[in-house]
Structure 1
Amino acid sequence: MKHLIFPITIFLFVLFSGQSIGQATPQEMVAKMGRGINLGNVLSAPYEGNWAPAVEETYFDDVLNEGFSTVRIPIRFDKHTTALADVTYTDSSNNYIGSPNDYTVDPTFLDRVEQVTDWALTRGLVAIIDVHGDKWYWESYDATSPEYKTGNDLLAAEDRFRAIWTAISDRFQLKSENLLFEIMNEPYFNMSASQVDNVNTNILSIIRQTNPTRNVIITGGGANSWQAPLQISSSLISSDVHLIATFHYYVPFKFTSSSKQQYSDYNWGTDADKANVDSHFDTVLNWSQTNNIPVFLGEFGADNYCGYDYVNNTCGGYGGPDNTSRVLYHEYVADAAISRGFSFTAWDAGEKSNKTIYKVSDRSWVEDVKNAILGNGTLGVDQVKSKKDFQLFPNPATSVVNIQTHRTISNIHLISSLGQLFSTENSRTIDVSDLKSGIYLVKVLFKNGETNCKKLLIN
């Protein structure tokens, strides 16, 4: 590598002034997360491969290349954790003697979770560990569920859930700030607002022992969809400055789930339909601003056109959304989130599911829906620009950094936070092994004369 000292404009110096290597605030992280996608039905199945093919590293290349910024990774820990039935948690007098130490999360499964999250992180994507499929726990509070528990049985379930989060927190404590934790998925169908607040408070105390500044995603209880975050207590929000609120949006359900037999609303897109979304999202925005907590839309989507089965290449037996309505729904909801400063991850569970965006069998996309989510559709709002110009990975880097882009590059400049030009490169792989730790700017000049810049952290 050539080491050249070269003066650059005050603009670049100002660009870096005030920047630090410290933890991103929740607001900064939500801005960074932008438009994302769920890796649904993979690690959230009882065992990986049950509901969708096991994820491969190429998935994250495909996600990155299209311009997504974030991958939410729903996970189920139940089948990989010591079972309640295998623990003696009461004595002969029926006194509770259990503790979280009674439960172990299979290290091999944690290895797999780490491998998958690292595939995302090394590409500069934001990754979310979402404890998603462990309904056995939140249904423990629901008197209508077979999982309902009281007394010592509930205490044991609580300790088992604490053990899961202790294992996650310990294993991932040294990962970059681009890894986020999401405590529970949709607990509001089974738990009250106070119960969810209590669990969030308890699990946060576990997380903060090893991850004191990691951004954590929480929701509320007792009300679903856009009303869920509004149930989070103000005292919980004020107790921790690294929180992001989340909600899911499948309104109206009779349209978004219209491939099911009991629903037959196949059209969406009237002024009233759009006004309903705007009203709901404005309510969340006002709450967010009042409570000074940013918002992440963790899931949204509508069933496949005509209930399409991408495995058998046939429409479903009960119909489903018309294609124009499905595309418009994804586009409108995505834009409603981004225009209000929310980030999002659209729900995708692969070609074996009723909500398909990515098809792993041939590494292809349902193009019109993907484009709608990314802002490349008919609305033309907030088109994907810099994300599709180029990506850096790994970021942070220690030895080399790779530049990934579909565009033709003329030149690449690597610039320090003090405005020094350390390198002029024409290769898409840059050796940074002999540079000091810190924040640098990678400035790319494209063949058509356009330029774009991204920050690079060198450890």
Structure 2
Amino acid sequence: MKRPVWTTLTALTAGLAVAASLAGPAAAAGPAAASGPVAGFTTASAPAGVRLHSTPAEDMVEAMQPGWNLGNSLDALGTDETAWGNPRITRELFDELEDEGFNSVRIPVTWGQYQGADHVVDPAVMDRVEEVVGWALEEDLIVLLNVHHDSWMWTNQMPTRHDEVLSQFTSLWEQVAERFRDHPDELLLESINEPQFAGASGDAQSYALLHELNVAFHETVRASGGGNADRLLVLPTLHTNADQGRLDALTATFDQLADPNLVATVHYYGYWPFSVNVAGGTRFDETAKQDVTGTFTRVHDTFVARGIPVILGEYGLLGFDRHTGTIEQGEKLKFFEYVGYQARTTGITTMLWDNGQHFGRTTFEWSDPTLIDQIRSSWSTRSGTASTDLVFVRAGEVTAQTVTLETNGTRFRGLYLGTKALRAGRDYTLAGDALTLSAPLLQRLAGDGQHGTQAVLQARFSRGLPWRFEIIGADTPVLQDAAGTTSDFAVPTAFHGDRLATMEARYLDGSNAGPHGWTSFKEFDVTFAPDTAAGRILLRPAFFAEVTDGAPVVLTFHFWSGETLQYTVVRNGTAVTGTVG
């Protein structure tokens, strides 16, 4: 693994001195009120190729970029690391990850299930964790080892079992610290994942309890000596959340500990309605985008600007926990492109959460190569995107269609069909950021009445990845009446090439029906799911569980083409009937 090479501080100081002398006495005096150890300078704000401030902690965390999570393996609940469906970990996995461009791996471990009498960890489990950590280190990956699902299994009981929890937590870290005290500096330790406290009286109590855990972790690891005397230790915010109150509470802990070898960690899964596709959050719109901007700005200003390095210990989209199709492809690509840009420009190291749905643990192939290409590209540059990646063409009524390019600081270079450059003025026109695909082009590509994707165009930009447009032949979907039960009901659907985006549910009086009663738009896959191959739209038991018996519910299906169709369902006990309209 390659480590970054930086301009020496001596050379930089000399250069700044020359610049200051040319600018005059006021400039030579420097900023009047620099605050914190960084004095206003950070790696993220430095000119390209120049490092204005450096500490060993910052260097190590920066060298970790980018990182990956070994999720749902050693953290799985059950008999062993295969309990949640992933295969046993192999050394080859880490070799492949390093080849894929990752510089670090986070290894979550759930320890409490293996703690016996006097909180002693099963020696076989400790040996296995050490073996896996050793493989990763030998493959030149920096490793972040943590305490994972213990956070909601037993440490969350601290408000009512304070002494017992603190004793078990301290004992656990005494054992882990002892086992890993002589491992190289490239092993980092993280106190606890997503800390939370059941029954706490409020944030103030939760902050105080997390402070206790973080301090106990710090004292225990440091006291074990060896490499742990100055090993980088990673401390989370409450819930590993980036709200300002959470950040400020952790800052107070950093100030008290006054240890230069500490790192902060938060997680980020996006604006929640978009992240799970609920409440109409189908698009990476300005609200979702500003949520990203605000999060990274707060974390940078609170920690990075003060010289405290930050690891984004997990990031992704929450809907991925069900499947990666919960969020439409183009919208999720825009999310990851922007998250990568924000992380890069704010100096935050990222570690992609992967519970097995992204990188095959035995095939060593990506389930969505386009997605990982976008993520990988975002580590170093920006890519142009567009308002959509879906262009629907209806046979017999083919018209020109306009999409908005989002150039993200790049320049549009042309539109391509495969390797063939399309002709500006004939196949498309560009006015500002408005890209118009001509009617003759769309007629040629998808005007013959065939349904589904008929062609893929690429908008190429001056840097980064091209943006793909699917040209899709489609007609208005057709629904049919149906009967079933609350545990097995589906709307027969001829999709005709169209794609379902979301579903609304209302009673006849206009009030919202089903789960998440504060919105008419239901959660994708939790309450409904398209099954295009089988020609149906599934309505999940979770939807009917919160529907009033005997009350008609009007469903509105929203398709990506812009089409909307209505359908009425009535639940009577466990029986369900559905009618068109």
Task: Please give the range of the TM-score, normalised by the shorter of the 2 chains.
Answer: 0.5 to 0.7
Cα distance in 2 between the residues matched to 1:306 and 1:107: 32
Alignment of 1:28-427 (within 5 A): 28-46=59-77, 47-51=80-84, 52-82=86-116, 86=117, 102-134=118-150, 135-141=152-158, 149-150=160-161, 154-188=162-196, 190=198, 192-209=206-223, 210=225, 211-221=228-238, 224-227=241-244, 228-239=246-257, 240-258=259-277, 263=278, 265=280, 267-289=282-304, 291-302=306-317, 308=323, 320-350=326-356, 356-365=357-366, 366-375=368-377, 380=382
Deviation at 1:115, TM superposition (A): 0.8
Deviations 1:148-178 (Å, cap 9, x if unpaired)? x33xxx3222211111101110000111111
Give deviations 1:75-105, integer Å, cap 9, x for gaps: 00012111xxx5xxxxxxxxxxxxxxx2211
Could you tell me how far 1:67 is from its partner in structure 2? 0.2
Note the C-alpha offset of 1:343: 0.4
CA distance in 1, matches of 2:320, 2:308: 36
**One-letter identity of the residue aligned with 1:368:** T
Deviations 1:242-301 (A, max 9, x none): 11001111121222233xxxx364633333432321122111111114543111111111
Distance change in 2, residues 1:63/1:26 (3 Å): same
Gaps of 5+ in 2: 12-53, 201-205, 384-581
Q: Structure 1 pair 277/204, CA: closer, same or farther in 2 (3 Å)?
A: same
Residue by residue, what CA displacement relative to the aligned partner does 1:366-390 show, whole Å, maximum 9, x if unpaired?
A: 2122222222699637xxxxxxxxx
Residues 203 and 330 of structure 1: is their aligned pair in 2 closer, same or farther, counting only changes over 3 Å? Answer: same
Cα pair 1:266 1:322 within 8 Å, conserved: no
SS of residue matched to 1:247: strand
What amino acid is the match of 1:39? L
Question: Structure 1 residues 188, 230: CA separation in 2 closer, same or farther (over 3 Å shift)?
Answer: farther
What SS is found at the alignment partner of 2:105?
strand
Matches of 1:66 and 1:275, distance apart in 2: 30
Are residues 336 and 171 of structure 1, via their aligned partners in 2, closer, same or farther at CA, if it must alter by over 3 Å? same
Shift, 1:223, TM fit: 7.7
Cα offset, 1:125, TM superposition = 0.8
CA contact (8 A) 2:221 2:229 kept: yes
- Residue 304 of structure 1 and its aligned partner are, at CA, apart by 6.3
Q: Structure 1 residues 220-229 or 53-62, which shifts more?
A: 220-229
Distance 1:294 1:16, change over 3 A: closer
Task: Report the secondary structure of 2:267's partner residue.
Answer: strand
Residues 340 and 378 (structure 1), Cα distance of their counterparts in 2 relative to 1, 3 Å cut: closer
Q: Which amino acid aligns with 1:195?
A: L
When structure 1 is superposed on structure 2, of 368-377 and 271-280 the one drifting more is 368-377
CA distance in 2, matches of 1:277, 1:216: 26
Q: Distance in 2 between matches of 1:232 and 1:268?
A: 33
Q: Per-residue displacement from partner, 1:196-232 (whole Å, max 9, x unpaired)?
A: 1111111110000121100011022378345433321
Letter in 1 for 2:295: H
Unaligned runs of 5+ in 1: 1-11, 87-101, 143-148, 310-314, 351-355, 382-459
Distance 2:347 2:174 in 1: 32
Contact 1:266/1:321 (8 A) holds in 2: no
Counterpart contact for 2:267–2:315, Cα < 8 Å = yes
Alpha-carbon distance, 1:108 to partner: 1.2
Instruction: State whether residues 250 and 302 of structure 1, in contact with CA within 8 Å, keep that contact through their aligned partners in structure 2.
Output: yes
> Residue 188 of structure 1: CA displacement?
3.9
Change (3 A) 1:306 1:250: closer
The structure that is strand-richer by fraction is 2
Measure the CA separation in 2 of the matches of 1:257 and 1:66: 28
Q: Give TM-score scaled by structure 1 length.
A: 0.64
- The RMSD of aligned alpha carbons is 2.9
In structure 2, C-alpha distance between the alignment counterparts of 1:128 and 1:372, rounded to whole Å: 24
For the structure 1 residues 31 and 226, does the alpha-carbon distance in structure 2 shift closer, same or farther, using more than 3 Å as the test?
farther
Q: Which portions of structure 1, spanning 4 or more consecutive aligned residues, are displaced by more than 6 angstroms?
A: 14-18
Distance 1:141 1:257, change over 3 A: farther
Matched-pair contact (CA < 8 Å) for 2:109–2:145: yes
Counterpart of 2:343, as a letter, is A
Q: Is the 8 A contact 1:304 1:326 kept in 2?
A: no
- How many angstroms does 1:141 deviate by? 2.8
CA contact (8 A) 1:219 1:229 kept: no
For 1:28 and 1:278, the matched residues in 2 are separated by: 24
Distance 1:213 1:25 in 2: 10
Aligned twin of 1:3:
none
The alignment-based identity, stated in percent, is 27
Q: CA deviation at 1:331?
A: 2.4
Shift of 1:31: 1.0
Q: Structure 2 length as normaliser, TM-score?
A: 0.51
Q: Secondary structure at the match of 2:154?
A: helix
Would the aligned equivalents of 2:337 and 2:382 in 1 still touch at CA under 8 Å?
Answer: no
CA contact (8 A) 1:37 1:70 kept: yes
Aligned length: 321
Per chain length, whose mean CA-contact separation is higher, i.e. which structure has more relative contact order (CA < 8 Å, sep 6+)? 1
